[in-house]
A and B are shown apart, each in its own frame.
Chain A
């Protein structure tokens, strides 16, 4: 085994000089510095990396360095050497390459993983473990070590790792036997967050600690509580101290770091009353592990640094959670877009085009087109509100309408069913304006308008607005829906828009309005309508999605 011993804090994390190998076997993970070449891997006990598995050959492979370039060389192994799943004889290694030796999946090695991953915390952890604190190390040097550790940890965003490392460092510095971190939950109760013993083993059970000292430490205003049970007679009455023969207990309340630490420094009493977010508890059971001599400097450093470490870690964690949430939203948005993507049906009697101009947020507009024996049906809907909730409803609405259209349901029955669904489900003040228009090859249009902007029919350069309408869907459970008809001649255009178009605002706060829409629709195509909107708005961003659908009836 070639664990490099770190001489002191100045040598950095190690991986800057030598690449590292992270060896993973089951739940175990170990960081190895690749500080010499060749580096042997095999089942033989004298190998630099010994993998005790019959599928690993005795002399399995070498990792060699030539001019700073690392390669893995198979030594004629029976079950092969693999890099990223591919069997190799010799292969130059890149960062994050996954190496497997005969035994697949069960044990593998990652070559020189990037920093900033959880591995760096583990790597650092293992190096702390490899750190030797001699008896000659002064308290000041210990403090430097600790601060160094704290500084490095600040770059790592995993709370659990930080807690574990904090415990290891604390154990190292205090030479105590066991260490625990407690964190307050949302109800203000202390809960065990992590525990370690001096051997680096996790401690999951806190029954044998002195909870009374823990409680005392939290209630007291002191920075830390150091209790030597052999010297205080009044402590002998405490249950756990007697039962478990606890010799020395150190308890450090972790207080939320104050934002104006420098100003508060003048009034330490104020700083001390800062919110307690948890506690660090360290104890030793045996006389041989007397930790009562731990210097106050170190305890002071632990008390202040540990709290700010955890607070930092929590902030990073919250940021990470926020980032993941954003990612999820982006995925949702892309699914939404794919659902909303319309394949425009080809029909001999009409040409259809639709375009959506989205504002920044995910919106609730959608348009769909379905061709059935009854004719070409176009749907345009606008769910009230914006954001994810609107998008979710829009998807549901689209699915319902689409399936009922393909099933050949009458338009009025479709919107009645949708209205019933929305009001039954009691989604709160969410509703949708919907217009569904079915165009037959003879130019007959049946439309049902549920609170939507009136459609435009452009015929011989004149704009008509078929005015029949109903209540929006989703507002009132007993709403009745009726449809109406209009007639298209060859060359006529039917245009449907959402209110994002008529309510597009310019810098003065004026709306695009129906008048400008009618003017643009009278002469212009779909693209020209959008040009008119963007000319009108100037640089003013859209408040709402703008969707325009245009059907040109060409005749049968």
Chain B
């Protein structure tokens, strides 16, 4: 499997940094399972995608699926570290209108605190 996921905490926000490819199959499944586990204990998540070299259509489906179920459960996932390719894909699919995307991890974290204040 070509996906590793690092998890850490910063200012009360859980930051996930997947490394590798999020593609249809076991990588997408691993990503989904990992996010589900994290969602069990926190409601504020930043996914830093800077270590992700490639997301295919299946991986994108997983990302949207997890995002939707997190929102439905009162949690929030924000994205940062998007490469040009992923930005293009989100643009073509108009998913930029669905996800909250930030230019830096710091901004993504700060957005949670703004919301809380």
Contact = CB atoms under 8 A, between A and B. Distances in A.
Interface stretch (B34-42, B92-100, B109-117): B92-100
Interface residues of A, number: 23
Contacts of B94: 451, 469-471
A499 B57 contact: yes
A472 interface: yes
Interface of A, helix, strand, loop or mixed by DSSP: loop
Interface string B77-105: 00000000000000011110110000000
Interface string A359-384: 00000000000000000000000101
A504 B111 CA distance: 37
Interface residues of B, number: 18
Interface in A471-504: 471-472, 475-476, 499, 503
B56 A503 contact: yes
Contact of B98 (A384, A386, A471): A471
Interface of B: 24, 28, 32, 56-58, 60-62, 64-65, 68, 92-95, 97-98
A385 B57 contact: yes
A479 to B, nearest CB: 9
A431 interface: yes
A471 B95 contact: yes
12 contacts: A384-B24, A386-B58, A428-B65, A429-B28, A429-B58, A431-B64, A453-B92, A471-B97, A472-B93, A475-B95, A476-B68, A476-B98
A431 B61 contact: yes
A505 to B, nearest CB: 10
Indicate the member of A385, A429, A544 with the most B CB atoms within 10 Å.
A429
Q: Lowest 3 CB-CB distances: which A-B pairs, in order?
A: A451-B93, A429-B61, A429-B65
Contacts of A247: none
Interface in A427-443: 428-431, 433
A384 B65 CA distance: 13
Nearest to B97: A471
A544 B65 CA distance: 22
Interface string A383-408: 01110000000000000000000000
Nearest to A543: B56
Contacts, number: 53
A452 interface: yes
A454 interface: yes
A137 B59 CA distance: 70
A480 to B, nearest CB: 10
Interface centre among B32, B57, B68 (most CB of A within 10 A): B57
Nearest to B98: A476
A426 B48 CA distance: 28
Mostly, the B contact residues are helix
A431 B65 CA distance: 10
Given A384-B24, A428-B65, 4 more contacts: A386-B58, A471-B93, A471-B95, A472-B93
Given A384-B24, A386-B24, A471-B98, A430 B61 contact: yes
A433 B68 contact: no
Contacts of A544: 56
A211 to B, nearest CB: 45
A515 to B, nearest CB: 12
B93 A469 contact: yes
A475 B61 contact: yes
B20 to A, nearest CB: 13
Given A451-B93, A503-B56, A384 B61 contact: yes
Q: Chain B CB within 10 Å — which of A428, A452, A454, A475 has the most?
A: A475
Contacts of A470: 94
A475 B92 contact: no
A385 B92 contact: no
Nearest to B91: A469
A80 B56 CA distance: 68
Most buried by B among A385, A430, A431, A433: A385
A97 to B, nearest CB: 50
Nearest to A386: B24
Nearest to A499: B57
Contact of A429 (B56, B62, B92, B95): B62
B57 A429 contact: no
Contacts of A384: 24, 57-58, 60-61
A472 B64 CA distance: 11
A451 B94 CA distance: 7
Contact of B24 (A385, A451, A469): A385
Given A385-B24, A433-B93, A475 B64 contact: yes
Contacts of B93: 433, 451, 469, 471-472
A514 to B, nearest CB: 8
